[in-house]
Structure 1
Amino acid sequence: MSPYTSRQYSIETVGIVGTGAMGRGIAQIAALAGLQVRLYDTNAAAVGAARDYLSDTFSKLVPKGKLDSSRSLAALACVTGANAIEELKDCDLVVEAIVEKLDVKRALFKELEGIVSERCILASNTSSLSITAIAAACTDPSRVLGYHFFNPVPLMKVVEVIDGLRSDPAAGNALMDLARRMGHTPVRAKDMPGFIVNHAGRGMNTEGLRVADEGVASFVDIDRIMREQAGFRLGPFELLDLTALDVSHPVMESIYHQFYEEARFTPSPITGTRLAGGLIGRKAGEGFYVYVDGKQQAPAEAPAPTELPKRVWVSARGPAARDAVVALIARAGVAVDQGATPGADSLIVVTPLGFDATTAAVDEGLDASRVVAIDTLFPLVEAQRRTLMTTPATTRAARDTAHALFAHDGVPVTVIRDSTGFVAQRVVATIVNIGCDIAQRQIASPEDIDLAVTLGLGYPRGPLALGDALGAQTILTILRNMFKVLGDPRYRPSPWLARRAQLGMPLTQRDATDNDDNNYDTQEHA
């Protein structure tokens, strides 16, 4: 526990240092909750501009029925500007929302400590810097915590409360209560690189980039697969365009280096090059996509081939997957080759988990020129998209007839080059694996991990719940097979995943003893 005496905290007046998008957003939700808000910025004109922005925002919410006029006026009356930082002296909480540089933040917190009372909590909105490192500048680091909101603050209803090594748990509890008062959902994390959301987000972004870097599929095809096959709201490159590479690339590099070059978080030269070239995303009008009047421009898909194969032989490895594939073939009216080995004129379909099409073909002694793999991780019949994969030896005729076959019912099909784990398998398995490792490291509770990711990243499920839905043993098989082929440590399974898969336990379930011992007290395990 912290060596500092726990205090009682009551928060009614909030100081905000930095009046950019994040500072304004925090001020908006605080004022609407009836808190007194004091805005300070080293640029005095920015304070007035921020208050004008809030006035305009509140007034626009009234005709939309989201705010009545009396509450709008009351909220604005709660917001005052501070001409000097000393005017924050009687605040109960000061939230810093300034430039993401450790030395600048440390200097600010040291200055604030000499101004505010000892009952004032000092909180940083940092997205990637260590709270413990920021707090080290203070004589009393116990009242320094992370309070990480997401942009745009009023719409992103989650906030991470981060305990540094010396943070007072009572101060963290007060920030949790304040978040609820402001209409947000708080999650608790210990001080580790990326906290929860930016840590968990490495799975989608870094693995999506790795797939593209290997030449497996184009940016747009990877996004279509993750959105329409795997069920995510945005694919990795749509998400990177939304956040912008001038924000996301430094975070990727920071987390990678803070974890001492952990293979799972290896950044891609793709983003570094595009950042240098100014192709940073939606706000610049060009990123992985071009934007016209703010609308994404994506190339249209070519129509599927129409010539069906005469017969199809389906690998018997994975009986459930085979049955689903055979059912689709029957719907297309194509004959299934029932032989123990494929006939000389049969298209050969394999259904690997984690392996590439080449490995699947060689392991079964199949003619690789006729082999096409289909991803069966997600249901095939109800699919919004299906993914096929060829070996380097697969003929154009085999590829095209397979494409025609699996698009016969009107479901779009993406054909990719050979890849361990297709696209969806490897990205989803990486997302689940990193989520499991966050739980294993006790950075946050399983409940908070899933809550933070669904609210902060907009995923259809949190990583642990997603792993449970697909099956922990299935995810483990994908990772182990990818690791077997590539030998890349980025795919080594988390102990949390491996043990629960062996025991048949849900990934969302804590260790049986944790419920009694409260092992997710961030102070005990920081």
Structure 2
Amino acid sequence: MTALDLDSPVAVVGTGTMGQGIAQVALVAGHPVRLYDAAPGLARTAAAAITARLDRLVEKGRLDAPARDAAAGRLEAVDDLPALAGCHLVVEAVLEQLDVKQRLFQDLEEVVADDCLLATNTSSLSVTAVAGALRHPGRFVGLHFFNPAPLLPLVEVVSGHTTDEAAATRAYDTARAWGKTPVRCADTPGFLVNRIARPFYAEALRVHEERAADPATIDAVLRGSGGFRMGPFELTDLIGQDVNEAVTRSVWDAFFQDPKFTPSLAQRRLVESRRLGRKSGRGWFAYEEGAEQPRPHTAGPADAPASVTLHGELFQAAALLPLIEGAGVRVGRGKSAHPDFPGWIELPGGTRLALADGSSPDAAAEPTVQFDLALDYATATRIALAPAARVDERALGEAVGLFQALGKEVSVVGATPGMIVARTVALLVDFAYDAVARGVAGPDDIDTAMRLGVNYPRGPLSWGAGLGLHWVTEVLDHLHDEYPTGRYAASQGLRRAAAKEDHA
């Protein structure tokens, strides 16, 4: 293990929220920590704030008083960069401006020893670009903590184009010694989490822009059916619409405006109107005192059919069959579908109930109601249904009643291809396989990053493997047929992985 010794001083430059959090992590781990900020007095203010947080940890029983006293004794606020001489690691958390960071690290090179590890906490800038101004770029690495740094376990350890393997390994081992869960990744726009997570926000915005569902309903479906802890609209209100849109635009620009990362006009208008979310009192939802939160669309009570007929196999939705039978609905067996294609449930009037597959419900030869993908149909609390235009009210009522009989709330949404969960998950899986194929990170690190960094219920690679990569690719192919812009074109990484799966 090449982690820094605990007697090695660590410096943090920049004493905002992230800088203070990183300093606290290093301090509690046992290092002497020096705080510096270019603005006079801010380092001392930050040191006092960190000490106060240590006091609160003692009050909560998460730190004993002697450990608090020892940590406070190791914390020092300094007034100039030369005071950082002798530090073995310097972590920068200043403004997200390339020229500012480059000048800072050039100045640091004049102060610290040649073997001092230099790290940036940037979340949006190229690690390679920041290091480009250095005489010794091999010792430079990205250490991207997540906010709040003392609480969230994930740290992305980012190797720039010129980062030495020894430097990246030392940064990784040090983060692990600090009690974090580090993941290794190459320097790519958005690194791991901010790159792979883009579809979670983008697809919700696309569904909303098509007026297939309102924000409250989309959030509710992704929580209740997809298993996500928060929906994308409430999450971006928490993050800040300006911050989230800036990350999306930064990644889009860095990928030379690849259509897969295209920003949303609806979100742009929200930012322009200064409806930034919780911090401004209004975003997608209102947060002023007394403001009512919109409720998701929920279908009224409907009668379940006495019986349905299953044609073929439901594959990704196979868990529905025992639930339907357990609800007292008789399930007959009809003609078999083609073995390579998913089956469907026939309702009493002949309407088909089929899993969303990326095609429009209106494109089906028979009247069809599509139902959305669920992480686990047994535990899902809400299911979205999308009827084709020619599905009558009676048939839609049968579909609604069937899922209500399973104990699910039902949201009826517009006939948008891929609906909500299916299209979102398919793209998350695609982005993850693309990252593997391009050498951005290993599979385990990607799944770990997405579970810990954004609290996804499953890592996208394991999620895709569970669904079947052939099905994921088919969903994207159908979406690409509906929207031939390149946004939904399946990556070569996904296609190669699906081909291996087919021949396994």
TM above 0.5, yes or no, is yes
Shift in CA distance, 332/357, structure 1 to aligned 2, threshold 3 Å: farther
Q: Is 1:187 aligned to 2:171, yes or no?
A: no
> Which of these residues, 467, 470, 473, is aligned with residue 473 of structure 1?
470
**C-alpha deviations, 1:34-54, integer Å up to 9, x for none?**
111111111122112101111
Q: Structure 2: 5+ residue runs without aligned partners?
A: 337-344
For the 8 Å contact 1:347–1:402, the answer to whether it is kept is no
> Which of these residues, 448, 455, 471, is aligned with residue 451 of structure 1?
448
How far apart, in 1, do the equivalents of 2:291 and 2:167 lie? Answer: 43
When structure 1 is superposed on structure 2, of 372-381 and 175-184 the one drifting more is 372-381
The answer for the alignment partner of 1:299 in structure 2 is: 294
Shift in CA distance, 36/24, structure 1 to aligned 2, threshold 3 Å: same
The answer for the alignment partner of 2:384 in structure 1 is: 387
Q: Offset of 1:342 from its aligned partner?
A: 7.9
The answer for the alignment partner of 2:43 in structure 1 is: 47
For the 8 Å contact 2:106–2:133, the answer to whether it is kept is yes
For the 8 Å contact 1:453–1:463, the answer to whether it is kept is yes
Number of residues paired by the alignment?
Answer: 493
For the 8 Å contact 1:230–1:424, the answer to whether it is kept is yes
How far apart, in 2, do the equivalents of 1:262 and 1:372 lie? Answer: 33
Q: Secondary structure at the match of 2:60?
A: coil
The answer for the alignment partner of 1:494 in structure 2 is: 491
Equivalent residues in 2 for 1:207-286 (5 A)? Answer: 207-286=203-282
Q: TM-score, normalised by structure 2?
A: 0.90
How far apart, in 2, do the equivalents of 1:137 and 1:323 lie? Answer: 56
Q: TM-score, normalised by structure 1?
A: 0.86
- Matched AA of 1:131: V
> Which of these residues, 404, 424, 433, is aligned with residue 427 of structure 1?
424
How far apart, in 1, do the equivalents of 2:256 and 2:297 lie? Answer: 44
Q: Secondary structure at the match of 1:118?
A: coil
How far apart, in 1, do the equivalents of 2:90 and 2:245 lie? Answer: 29
Q: Offset of 1:92 from its aligned partner?
A: 1.1
> Which of these residues, 392, 396, 406, is aligned with residue 403 of structure 2?
406
Q: Secondary structure at the match of 2:63?
A: coil
For the 8 Å contact 1:188–1:444, the answer to whether it is kept is yes
Q: Is 1:85 aligned to 2:81, yes or no?
A: yes
How far apart, in 2, do the equivalents of 1:43 and 1:231 lie? Answer: 44
- Matched AA of 2:357: L
Q: Is 1:415 aligned to 2:419, yes or no?
A: no
Shift in CA distance, 36/220, structure 1 to aligned 2, threshold 3 Å: same
The answer for the alignment partner of 1:521 in structure 2 is: none
The answer for the alignment partner of 1:353 in structure 2 is: 357
For the 8 Å contact 1:19–1:97, the answer to whether it is kept is yes
The answer for the alignment partner of 1:110 in structure 2 is: 106
> Which of these residues, 479, 483, 499, is aligned with residue 482 of structure 1?
479
> Which of these residues, 163, 168, 174, is aligned with residue 167 of structure 1?
163
How far apart, in 2, do the equivalents of 1:222 and 1:343 lie? Answer: 26
Q: Secondary structure at the match of 1:387?
A: strand
- Matched AA of 2:190: G
Shift in CA distance, 118/357, structure 1 to aligned 2, threshold 3 Å: same
Q: Offset of 1:324 from its aligned partner?
A: 6.3
When structure 1 is superposed on structure 2, of 374-383 and 114-123 the one drifting more is 374-383
How far apart, in 2, do the equivalents of 1:302 and 1:134 lie? Answer: 47
Shift in CA distance, 338/117, structure 1 to aligned 2, threshold 3 Å: closer
For the 8 Å contact 2:311–2:335, the answer to whether it is kept is no
For the 8 Å contact 2:4–2:174, the answer to whether it is kept is no
When structure 1 is superposed on structure 2, of 388-397 and 452-461 the one drifting more is 388-397
Q: Offset of 1:418 from its aligned partner?
A: 0.7
> Which of these residues, 145, 154, 158, is aligned with residue 150 of structure 2?
154
Q: Secondary structure at the match of 2:385?
A: strand
Q: Offset of 1:406 from its aligned partner?
A: 2.2
- Matched AA of 2:355: T
Q: Is 1:439 aligned to 2:443, yes or no?
A: no
Q: Structure 1: 5+ residue runs without aligned partners?
A: 1-6, 508-526
RMSD of aligned alpha carbons: 2.9
How far apart, in 2, do the equivalents of 1:411 and 1:188 lie? Answer: 40
How far apart, in 1, do the equivalents of 2:19 and 2:176 lie? Answer: 18
Q: Secondary structure at the match of 1:43?
A: coil
For the 8 Å contact 2:310–2:332, the answer to whether it is kept is no
How far apart, in 2, do the equivalents of 1:235 and 1:420 lie? Answer: 20
Shift in CA distance, 133/312, structure 1 to aligned 2, threshold 3 Å: same
How far apart, in 1, do the equivalents of 2:196 and 2:129 lie? Answer: 22
**C-alpha deviations, 1:271-300, integer Å up to 9, x for none?**
21111222212233322222357x995334
For the 8 Å contact 1:204–1:236, the answer to whether it is kept is yes
- Matched AA of 2:59: P
**C-alpha deviations, 1:52-93, integer Å up to 9, x for none?**
111110001112110000101111111101111221122111
For the 8 Å contact 1:305–1:400, the answer to whether it is kept is no
How far apart, in 1, do the equivalents of 2:167 and 2:254 lie? Answer: 26
The answer for the alignment partner of 2:340 in structure 1 is: none
Q: Offset of 1:304 from its aligned partner?
A: 3.4
The answer for the alignment partner of 1:96 in structure 2 is: 92
Q: Secondary structure at the match of 1:489?
A: coil
Q: Secondary structure at the match of 2:311?
A: coil
When structure 1 is superposed on structure 2, of 351-360 and 199-208 the one drifting more is 351-360
Shift in CA distance, 456/351, structure 1 to aligned 2, threshold 3 Å: closer
Shift in CA distance, 210/312, structure 1 to aligned 2, threshold 3 Å: farther
